[in-house]
Structure 1
C-alpha cells in the first residue's frame, strides 16, 4: 500500500435508511471535525419511510461537503459501494446515520492508519441510550456478560484484530478486495475485513476511537437485529471455513440447552431443569452487575436473554447460502 500524505483527504460514507431521529446529529458531528485535511461526506440514501431524505437534502443544501447518492434497494452493502464509487479521496471512513463521532475522530483515525500501516482501523462501539430502555440495552452491549469479550464492544488494548466497528480504510485496499459483498444483509463489515486480511492487510483496533452508537428502542427491534446478526454470521461461516470460534457458538448452544432443559424437565424428570435454572441465575446476576437502577435491572432480565436467544435462533435457523 502507498504511503499517506501528512493530511490526506478523507471521504466519509454513510448508508442511510430511516434515520430521521439521528441523522442531523450524526452529520453535525462529522462536519465539526478538527481534521486539517479536506473531507467530504457521501450519503447513500435508501427508500426511507420517514423524513430522512428531506433532512439529508437540507444538510446538503447548507454545506457543499455533503453529497447525496441514491441507493434504490436500501441494502447497506450496496449503499456503501455506491458511496465509495461516488467518493474521491484516498481514505474512506464509514459512519452510520445513528452514530456520532467525536470531534477528533478523523484526525485520530488517519494518525493510527499512518502509524500502524493498517488497511482498516476502528475503535469502540460506545452504545449510549436516550430512553430508559435504550440505556439498559447500552449497558448490556458494553458488557462481556451481554455480548462477550469483543474489544469493539467492551474496549481493551490496541492491537491487531479480526474486525472493527465501522472503520477507516485505505481506499486502495477496499478496491483490491472488491468492495463490500452486496449479497450480505448483515456481517458485510466482518466479511470485508476477512478478505482484507486474506490479502495481507492489517486490521487494527484502537480504544481511543470511540463512536457513540444509538441502540434499538424496543425489544422487538432488538430481537430482529440480533436474529439477523446470528443469521448472517452463519452465512459467513459457510462462505469462509474456519471463521467460527467458541464465542460465536455460545448463543446457539445456550438456546438449544435451555429449550432441551425445559422439555426434558417437563417430560422426563425435574432434575433436567437444572441447565435452564443455571442460565436464569446467570441472567439475574448479570443484570444485577450491569444495571444502575432497579428499573434497568428488570429491563435487563428481558434484554440479555433476548440478545442471546435471538442471535442463537438466527444462527441455528439460517439456511442461506451464497453463490
Structure 2
C-alpha cells in the first residue's frame, strides 16, 4: 500500500534556529504520512549557535528516520533550498521553514491536494503564534495576520480553497523544477513568492486549501519585526527588476506611505500648508489603524493590545516602505552599472 504513495522530500533552510528547529523536526517526525516514503533534508547556513547539534542529535535519536543535514555556504534561504534540492530524491518537493510547525497531517494533505487538484504547487493556511510572552509579542503575532498590516492574503486570513498567487511552505511536483529552474538566489527574501510567480508565468497553477495547516512562530521583538519587513520591502523591489508584472496594487500602498510622510515632513518647513496635508494623512492613518487595532483587541479581549497593535502596524508599513525604496535605488544603481539587481 505505502509503495503506491509518492516519495516526499521535505527541505528546510535554516541558520541559527536552535530555539525552533527541534520543534519543527519533532512535528515532521510525527506526521501521519508513512515515514518510509518521506525524507527530511535540512540545509544549514553555517549556524553559529547550537542549530547543527540539535539537528545531528535528533538524527541520532531517530536512526530509522531519514534526516540529513547538508551545508549551505551561501547562507540564504534560496541557496539552502537549492543545496537541499540537489540532494532530494522525492517525486514531491515540500519546502518547510524553521519557524513553522506543521500539523500532524501536513504532508499527507499536501500529497492529497496535489493529486486531486492537478496543480503544480499546493499549500495552506498558517496560524501565527507569538514569539514571546509579552504584550508586544502578542501584538506582533496578531498584526502579521491582520489584513491592515499584510493585505489579507488568503493563507493568513483564511478562505475557500482554490487557485491563488502564492502559498507558504508549499509542496511541488518534482518536474516543476525541471521546467522553471531552481529557487532564485538573487532574491534571498520572498524567494517562495518569486518561485511561485515563475510557476504561474510558465502556465502552472498554485492551489490553496485550508486543510493544510501549520503554526508559524512570529518575531518576538519590534526590532526583529522591523528588520524582517525592511528586507521584505527591499526584496520586493529587487524582484520587480526580474518580474515587473509581479507587483499587486495593494503592495504599493506602504511603498508610498513612508516616503509621503518623509516628503511632507521636510516640505512643511518650507511650505507651511503642507503641514495640514501631513496632519490629515496621519489622522486618517491613525483612525484606520485604531479601527483595525480596536477590533483585534476586542476580539482577543485584551485592551493593552490596542496601542501595541497601532505601533506594530506603523512599524510594518514604515519598514516595508523604507526597504522598498532603498532596494529600488540599489537595484537601479546596479542595473545602470551592468550588474545583477540583487
State if a TM-score over 0.5 links the two structures: yes
Is the Cα contact below 8 Å between 1:261 and 1:276 reproduced in 2?
no
**Distance of aligned partners of 1:126 and 1:14 in 2 relative to their CA distance in 1, 3 Å threshold:** same
- In the aligned structure 2, how far is the partner of 1:49 from the partner of 1:96? 18
Residue 264 of structure 1 deviates from its aligned partner by 4.6
Residue 285 of structure 1 deviates from its aligned partner by 2.0
State the match for 1:304 in structure 2.
313
State the match for 2:287 in structure 1.
281
Q: Does 1:223 align with 2:232?
A: no
Aligned positions, number? 319
Equivalent residue for 2:177, pick from 162, 174, 179 = 174
- In the aligned structure 1, how far is the partner of 2:296 from the partner of 2:47? 35
State the match for 1:42 in structure 2.
41
Equivalent residue for 1:295, pick from 292, 304, 323 = 304
Per the normalisation by structure 1, the TM-score is 0.94
Structure 1 regions of 5+ residues with no counterpart? none
Q: Does 1:161 align with 2:164?
A: yes
- In the aligned structure 2, how far is the partner of 1:114 from the partner of 1:50? 40
What is the RMSD computed on CA atoms of the aligned residues? 1.6
State the match for 2:276 in structure 1.
271
Q: Deviations over 1:119-160 (max 9, x none)?
A: 110111321114233221111111112211211221112111
State the match for 1:94 in structure 2.
95
Equivalent residue for 1:29, pick from 15, 27, 31 = 27
Equivalent residue for 1:257, pick from 256, 260, 265 = 260
Equivalent residue for 1:207, pick from 207, 210, 234 = 210
Is the Cα contact below 8 Å between 1:13 and 1:84 reproduced in 2?
yes
- In the aligned structure 1, how far is the partner of 2:155 from the partner of 2:269? 40
- In the aligned structure 1, how far is the partner of 2:4 from the partner of 2:146? 37
Is the Cα contact below 8 Å between 2:230 and 2:319 reproduced in 1?
yes
Residue 6 of structure 1 deviates from its aligned partner by 4.4
Is the Cα contact below 8 Å between 1:257 and 1:275 reproduced in 2?
no
Residue 301 of structure 1 deviates from its aligned partner by 2.1
For the residue of structure 2 that corresponds to 1:201, the secondary structure is coil
Q: Deviations over 1:48-102 (max 9, x none)?
A: 1211111011011122411111112211111001111111110111111111000
Q: What is the correspondence of 1:122-137 to structure 2 with a 5 Å cutoff?
A: 122-129=123-130, 130-132=132-134, 133-137=136-140
For the residue of structure 1 that corresponds to 2:18, the secondary structure is coil
For the residue of structure 2 that corresponds to 1:118, the secondary structure is coil
Is the Cα contact below 8 Å between 1:143 and 1:154 reproduced in 2?
yes
Residue 217 of structure 1 deviates from its aligned partner by 1.4
Is the Cα contact below 8 Å between 2:151 and 2:251 reproduced in 1?
no
Q: Deviations over 1:286-320 (max 9, x none)?
A: 22112231222222121111011111111112122
Is the Cα contact below 8 Å between 2:155 and 2:167 reproduced in 1?
yes
Per the normalisation by structure 2, the TM-score is 0.89
Residue 265 of structure 1 deviates from its aligned partner by 4.7
Runs of 4 or more, structure 1, over 4 Å off, are 264-267
Q: Which range moved further: 95-104 or 285-294?
A: 285-294
